[in-house]
Structure 1
Amino acid sequence: MKRMIYSMAIPLSIALSANAQDTIPPDKLYGELFVDVQMNRIFPDGKTFVDCTAKRSPAAIVEDYTKIKKAPTADFSLKKFVEDNFDLPLAPSDNYKTDKNADVQTHIKQLWQVLKRNPDKTVAGSTLLPLPNSYIVPGGRFREVYYWDSYFTMLGLEASGETAMIENLVNNFSWLLSQYGHVPNGNRTYYLSRSQPPFFSLMLDLLAKKSGDKVYAEYQRPLQSEYDYWMDKTAPTKHVVKMPNGDVLNRYYDQYETPRQESYREDVELGAKANEAVKKARYRSLRSAAESGWDFSTRWFADGKNISTIETTNFLPVDLNCLLYHLEITLSKSYKATGDLLRANLYTQIAEKRKTAINKYLFNAADGWYYDYNISGKALSNSMTIAGITPFYFALAPKERIEKAAGIVEKKFLKPGGVVTTLKNSGQQWDAPNGWAPLEWMAIKGLEQYGKNDLAKEIAKRWIDLNVKVYKATGKMMEKYNVENIDATAGGGEYPSQDGFGWTNGVLMQLMKEYPTP
C-alpha cells in the first residue's frame, strides 16, 4: 500500500475558520433550533441530533424554523420537524446479530467488518469530517473514529493479522494532523476544539513492526505537528504549564468554554446555578475531561465527589505527560533516521527533562505511587488512580520504585475482574467499580516491563475471564466492565454502557494471544 505523507499542519485557529461551512459545529450552524432540540430532549441521547444529516440546506432549515417560531401553530411538533428535515444516524452494529455458537475470538474477527467504515465521501449537512482511508469505529453511539481508542483497537488488528487497517488508521490520523493541526477527539466538527491522549507515536511503533524503522522518518511531519499542537506552537491552546523552576509539563485544555454539543443539556444543567465565570470554567473542564478520555471521574473533581467541582484544567495528568515523553523520544528517533542529529539530540534532551520532571513533581515518595499534580494547590492530587502505573508502562520510573507500586496495584486496585480505575465508587464511569481495556493493558505491560510477570499475568487472566464470561452471557463485547462484581457488566456515566466495542476487542485479542488458555 502506498503510504501517504502530508504537509506541515496548519494552526487550529486557521483550521477552524478555513472551509467554514465544512467545519462549523451544529450549535453554530442551527442556533436556536439546536438549543431547542437538545434542551427539550427530543432524543434521549444528545449525541443523536449532532450526528444527524440535514436533508437540505442547513440555512433553509433554520430559516423555516425561525418562521415557525415567530408564528407557531397549535399542532407543531419539534420532533416531527427534525424527522422531516434530518436523517437520523444508525449505529454500526444495528443490523448485526451475534452468532452465539462462535467463540469470542471468532466473534471479534467478524466484528472488525461490522465496525469497519469505508473511506468517507463528503456529505452536505453532516458533521462528519471525511477521512481518506477506511477505519474502525468503536461501536454503539460512537459512529466515528476516536483517537486514543484506535491505538488499542490496533492491538487487536495486529493480533488478527489486519495489518493493512493499521496503516489505514495511521494515514487517517496523519491526514487529520495535516488538515486541522491536531488529531481531533473524533472525526466530527463538534470535536475540533480538542484532541485526546496522544497515542500517534505509539501507533508508529506498531506500524514499524510491520514496515521497519523507516516509518519514523516517513511520518516525521505529522509527528512534529502533533508535538507542536500539544506544546502550544501551532494554536492558541494552553496545554503547556511552566513549573516554578522552569520545567515544562502539560495538561488537557479544550479550546472552548461552552457546553459540549453532544451533551448540551447535561452541561447546561450542570452550569445553571453558577455565575458566568464559574460556568465557563466548568464547561471548559467538562470539555477538557473529554480530551483526557476519562469523562468523567472524581480524578478531576476538586472535592473528589461532585462533578459540579470539576476542574480538569487545574491538573497536570501523569499519563498525558508520559505520553508526551514517548512522543519526544519518538521525534528524536525520527530525526536520527533522517540524519538530523542536532534535532535528534535536542529531543532526547527535552525528553530527559520531562522524565526528570515527572519523577520529581508527580511521584509521592511517602506511598510510592504516581499522581496528577494540582496546579493551584502546588501539590500532588489526593486522588489515587490506576493512571499512576503509566510511568512504568513507558519505562521512565526508576527500577527501585516497582516494589511499592506493584504492592499498591495488588492490594488496592486488583479486583476479581482485573484492575479498577479509581478507588472511589461515585457513579461516574471512570471510577470504581469499572475497569477499562486501555488501563488494563497499560497496567499489565507496565508490570511486565519491571519483571512483575506473575501479577501482570493474574490481571490479564482475570480480565480475559471477565470479558469471555460477559460475552457468553450477552453475546456482546462491552465498552467497560464491572471488575468488582463479575456477575454484572458495568454502569455509571452520562450514557448507557455501549457494546461493539473497538478497544475491548483489541486488548482482549492481544492478551489472549500473549496469555493463551492452557
Structure 2
Amino acid sequence: MKISLYIDQAFRELLLQEDTDQDKRITVDDKGPKKFVLKSSTVEITIVGTYFLSNLLQELVLAKENNQDFIETESIFELPANRISRMIRDYFWDGLTRTLDEKGLEKLLKDSKSKTKNPIIYIPYTDNFSLEYFQKIAPKFNLKVIRLPEIISPEYVSSINDEGGILALALKTEGQNIEGYPFVVPGARFNEMYGWDSYFENIGLLIDNKLDLAQSMVENFDYQITHYGKILNANRSYYLTRTQPPFYSSMIREVFEKMPVKNTKWLGEKLETCIKEYETVWMENGKRLTENGLNRYFAQGIGLPPETETGHYDDILKPYAEAANLTIFEYEKLYYQRKIENKTLDVYFVHDRSVRESGHDTSYRIEGNCADLNVVELNAMLYKYETDFAELIASHFDDNFDYKTKMYNQKYWTEKAESRKKLINQLLWNDQECCFFDYNFKTQKQNVFLSATSFFPLWAKIATQEQADKMVEKCLPKLVYLGGIAGCSEESLSYIGKDQMLRQWDFPNGWPPHQIIIWQGLIHYGYQTKAQELIYRWLWMITKNACDYNGTVPEKYDVVSASHKVFAEYGNQGTDFEFISREGFGWMNASYQYGLHILDDNLKNELNKLTSPEDLF
C-alpha cells in the first residue's frame, strides 16, 4: 500500500523518538519505545520493533532523495532475507561500482590514499591509447600523468611509495566517447579494484544478472595481466610488485557460462591471458615456484608496505629502535627511507608483503614465514587453473589451443594437474591429522595449523572421497560455530598469549571467501546437508545483524558470538554509515546472494523467521 505523508516531518519525529544514542540509525542499542505511529491524512499505521522501524527510516531517506511524498508499506514490512537480497541487488552493487575515466576520476583520485597535492595516475609503458586519453583530460582534474618505465623494479616502486598514485585500468570506445570498464570495489572507502575480492564479487553479480558488469571485471583483469604483468593486489602504485590469489580461470569460466550466446573468441582471448599469468607470474623458477614443484606467495618490494596504518609495526620495530637509542617513529622513518640497514627486518617484510599478497592479511598461520610456505589454498587454486585449462580446451577448442608458438591440449594440462595433485598429497596431506596443511619447504616440515584454507582441496576437487570424509568428520567440527566457519580453529591459536592482538583472518572471525569455498567443496563430495547447514548459519548471522543494526552488512563477523562487532586489527568495513547502508561490503554481498541462491526453500522460510541455527541443527 502506498501512503502519502510529510516525509521530512516523519523523518524528524522518528529519529527524535527512536534514535536515542543519536548515531543516525535505529538499532537494538537504542532505548526508545520501539513503537511509532506513522500518520497520513487517510490512515495511521503502527510500526513496532527495531527491524521494521529501521526499514521505515531507510524508506523515508530514499523517499527524500527521490523527492517523493509517499512510501510503500510493503517495503517497511518486507521479510528480512528478501529485503537484504533486494537491497544488495538494487542498491549495493551500484554503490560499489566505479569507473576510471573522465566521469569517475574525481572520486577515485581525491581520496585518503592520494598523498600528493596533485593526484597522480600512472599509465603502463605499453598503453599509448590510455596515455593520450589521460593527458588530454588531465588539466580538468589538475592531474599528473606519469608513464611507467618498461621495467618495473622494486627499487622504482619504492621510489614512488610516498606519492600514492592510482594505476590505469582498461578503456573502451563507445561511439564517440571513451569510457572505462566499470569495476566493483570492496567497500565504500575503497576506490581501487582489488584482486580476489573481485572474483567473489563476480559470483554475486552473476546471480543478480549483472553480466555486463561481471564481464567488465574480467576485462580489467585482462588489462592488468597484459600491461602490468599480473593481477594486482589493487591498482595503486605501491601494489605494482604484488599479486593476489589466482581465481582468474574460475572468473572467466563463470562469465562465459552465463553468456546467452557463447562467445568463444572472447573465451579464447581470456584463456590466452590466463595462461600467460599462470606461466609468468606463478611458474617462473625461483620466484613463486619453489624447487619442490609447488608454489608459494612471494611479493617483492623494499621495506615497510606504505599502505599500512601508523603504529602497525610498533611491536616489530621496538627492539631495534631501543638498540639504536631512537624512538620507534624515528627508527621507522629512517628504515623506511633506507637510511638504516637491517637485513633481519628486510626478511621479515618479504614475509609480511607475501602475507598481503595471499589476501590473508593478517593471520598467525603465515606470519613471519609466508614466503617459505607452499600454502594449501594457492596450490589448490593453481590445480584448478590446470584442470580449467584442460576442460576448456577440450570442450571449446577441439582439444587444440594455440598459445604463442605452442599448441596446448587437454592431455598437457591434465598431466600438469596430476603432477601437482601428487605433490600436494605427498607434502601437504597429513594422514594422522586427516588434513591438508601448509608445507615449509625450507624446514621440510608441515605447519600443523588448522585453517579454513585446509578445505580448498575439496573446492578444487583434489581430495579423494576418503580424504574428504575424514576431514568432514575430524576437522570441520573444529571450525563450525553459531554463525558459520571461523578462519581457523581455536586450538591452532593455543600458543598465542592473552596480550597478543587477534589477527583478523583467524578465530573467531569468519570471512565470505572461506564460507563459499567450503560450501562448494562439501557439495562436490556429496555433503549437501552439511553445506545447507553452514549456508544457513552464515545467512542467519548476516540477516540477524542487519535486522538488529539498521541494515548493516559488514566485511567480516565474529562467528562465535554471531556479531559484526569484531575485536581485531583494521576494524570492520561496511559499518560506518548514516540512516541507510549504501554498499554493504562486496564479497559479503556476494556470499549472501550466492548462499540464498542455493539454500533450500524450507530453510529460506526459517531464515525469514530468524530461527536460530541451534534450534534447527
CA distance in 1, matches of 2:572, 2:313: 20
CA distance in 2, matches of 1:349, 1:98: 56
1:367 and 1:404 in contact (8 A); partners too: no
Q: 2:165 maps to which residue?
A: 127
The one of 252, 257, 263 aligned to 2:302 = 257
Post-superposition Cα deviations, 1:101-125, rounded to whole Å, max 9, x if no partner, equal 4710121121111111124344634
The one of 569, 581, 589 aligned to 1:505 = 589
Post-superposition Cα deviations, 1:116-139, rounded to whole Å, max 9, x if no partner, equal 112434463461212230011011
The one of 300, 322, 333 aligned to 2:366 = 300
1:417 and 1:463 in contact (8 A); partners too: yes
1:217 and 1:334 in contact (8 A); partners too: no
CA distance in 2, matches of 1:368, 1:134: 44
The one of 371, 386, 398 aligned to 2:437 = 371
Deviation at 1:423, TM superposition (A): 1.7
The one of 451, 457, 465 aligned to 1:399 = 465
Deviation at 1:392, TM superposition (A): 0.5
The one of 383, 386, 391 aligned to 2:452 = 386
CA distance in 1, matches of 2:249, 2:61: 36
1:106 counterpart = 2:69: no
1:327 counterpart = 2:372: no
1:259 and 1:283 in contact (8 A); partners too: yes
Deviation at 1:330, TM superposition (A): 2.5
CA distance in 1, matches of 2:523, 2:187: 30
Q: 2:291 maps to which residue?
A: 242
Q: 1:118 maps to which residue?
A: 99
Post-superposition Cα deviations, 1:244-276, rounded to whole Å, max 9, x if no partner, equal xxxx10000111131111116446533453581
Judge which range, 268-277 or 165-174, deviates more. 268-277
Q: 2:400 maps to which residue?
A: 340
Secondary structure (helix, strand or coil) at the match of 2:307 reads helix
| Counterparts in 2 of 1:418 and 1:229: CA distance versus 1, 3 Å | same
CA distance in 1, matches of 2:474, 2:199: 27
2:546 and 2:553 in contact (8 A); partners too: yes
CA distance in 1, matches of 2:400, 2:342: 49
**Unaligned segments of structure 1, at least 5 residues:** 1-95, 302-309
| Counterparts in 2 of 1:330 and 1:207: CA distance versus 1, 3 Å | same
CA distance in 2, matches of 1:97, 1:158: 29
Q: 2:279 maps to which residue?
A: 228
Q: 1:77 maps to which residue?
A: none
1:490 and 1:497 in contact (8 A); partners too: no
CA distance in 2, matches of 1:208, 1:297: 34
Deviation at 1:232, TM superposition (A): 4.6
Deviation at 1:458, TM superposition (A): 0.6
CA distance in 2, matches of 1:461, 1:409: 20
Q: 1:22 maps to which residue?
A: none
Look at both structures and tell me which one has the larger radius of gyration over its CA atoms: 2
Q: 2:21 maps to which residue?
A: none
CA distance in 2, matches of 1:198, 1:266: 31
CA distance in 1, matches of 2:84, 2:378: 32
| Counterparts in 2 of 1:504 and 1:264: CA distance versus 1, 3 Å | closer
1:217 and 1:335 in contact (8 A); partners too: no
Q: 2:553 maps to which residue?
A: 477
Q: 2:569 maps to which residue?
A: 493
The one of 183, 197, 200 aligned to 2:248 = 200
1:470 and 1:489 in contact (8 A); partners too: no
Q: 2:154 maps to which residue?
A: none
Deviation at 1:213, TM superposition (A): 7.6
2:95 and 2:188 in contact (8 A); partners too: no
Q: In structure 2, what residue type is equivalent to 1:240?
A: L
CA distance in 2, matches of 1:280, 1:137: 31
Q: In structure 1, what residue type is equivalent to 2:166?
A: L
Secondary structure (helix, strand or coil) at the match of 1:252 reads coil
1:267 and 1:283 in contact (8 A); partners too: no
Deviation at 1:237, TM superposition (A): 6.8
Q: 1:70 maps to which residue?
A: none
Judge which range, 224-233 or 333-342, deviates more. 333-342
The one of 540, 543, 565 aligned to 1:468 = 543
1:392 and 1:450 in contact (8 A); partners too: yes
Secondary structure (helix, strand or coil) at the match of 1:262 reads coil
| Counterparts in 2 of 1:151 and 1:231: CA distance versus 1, 3 Å | closer
CA distance in 1, matches of 2:168, 2:231: 13
The one of 452, 472, 482 aligned to 1:416 = 482
RMSD: 2.3
Q: 2:129 maps to which residue?
A: none
CA distance in 1, matches of 2:593, 2:457: 24
1:242 and 1:249 in contact (8 A); partners too: yes
The one of 139, 147, 162 aligned to 2:210 = 162
2:434 and 2:475 in contact (8 A); partners too: no
| Counterparts in 2 of 1:238 and 1:313: CA distance versus 1, 3 Å | same
Q: In structure 2, what residue type is equivalent to 1:328?
A: E
1:116 and 1:135 in contact (8 A); partners too: yes
The one of 136, 149, 152 aligned to 2:184 = 136
The one of 308, 314, 319 aligned to 1:273 = 319
CA distance in 2, matches of 1:322, 1:390: 6
Deviation at 1:376, TM superposition (A): 2.0
CA distance in 1, matches of 2:317, 2:482: 38
Deviation at 1:494, TM superposition (A): 3.6
Deviation at 1:380, TM superposition (A): 0.9
Q: 1:5 maps to which residue?
A: none
1:284 counterpart = 2:350: yes
Deviation at 1:481, TM superposition (A): 0.6
CA distance in 1, matches of 2:543, 2:92: 15
1:220 and 1:335 in contact (8 A); partners too: no
The one of 227, 235, 253 aligned to 1:179 = 227
1:156 and 1:506 in contact (8 A); partners too: yes
Deviation at 1:298, TM superposition (A): 0.9
Q: In structure 2, what residue type is equivalent to 1:390?
A: F
CA distance in 1, matches of 2:421, 2:476: 25
CA distance in 1, matches of 2:193, 2:217: 9
| Counterparts in 2 of 1:311 and 1:140: CA distance versus 1, 3 Å | farther
Deviation at 1:379, TM superposition (A): 1.3
CA distance in 2, matches of 1:459, 1:496: 22
Q: Alignment identity in percent? A: 27
Deviation at 1:201, TM superposition (A): 0.5
Q: In structure 2, what residue type is equivalent to 1:273?
A: P
| Counterparts in 2 of 1:167 and 1:232: CA distance versus 1, 3 Å | same
Q: In structure 1, what residue type is equivalent to 2:277?
A: E
| Counterparts in 2 of 1:276 and 1:131: CA distance versus 1, 3 Å | same
CA distance in 1, matches of 2:554, 2:442: 37
2:244 and 2:357 in contact (8 A); partners too: yes
| Counterparts in 2 of 1:140 and 1:490: CA distance versus 1, 3 Å | farther
Deviation at 1:285, TM superposition (A): 1.1
CA distance in 1, matches of 2:312, 2:457: 33
CA distance in 1, matches of 2:393, 2:595: 33
The number of aligned residues is: 409
CA distance in 2, matches of 1:237, 1:137: 33
